[in-house]
Amino acid sequence: MNNSNLLFTSASVCTYDTELGRPTKSAMGVEGFQYPSLWIGATGSVDVIMADGTEVSFTAVPAGTHLPIRVSQVKTASGVAAASIICMY
């Protein structure tokens, strides 16, 4: 396995605005861009749109979890503090 595939050069906070009922701009990604990994900093559930367009809900994700999943959008975060999801790319 080539470990260079596991290195990330940038990251941004992925948040969901509960008052507006939608993801913030940083969580929506750039059209056609996909985040290859998420770091979850607080326990909770995270709803995402995967790279292939499938909507998935990850429930009871423990704090400090690294999700090596390719997502095009973080939709919602239930129980996860707004600044606790980091999209790495």
* C-alpha closest to that of 85 among 3, 17, 5: 17
* Average pLDDT over every residue of 50-59: 90
**1 pLDDT tier (thresholds 50, 70, 90):** very low
What pLDDT is recorded for position 79? Answer: 59
Residue 46 domain boundaries? 3-88
- Please tell me the distance from the alpha carbon of residue 41 to that of residue 77, in angstroms, as a whole number: 11
pLDDT over threshold 70, residue 29:
no
Percent of the chain topping pLDDT 90: 11
Threshold 0.75, pTM exceeds: no
Considering its fold, how many domains does the chain have in total? 1
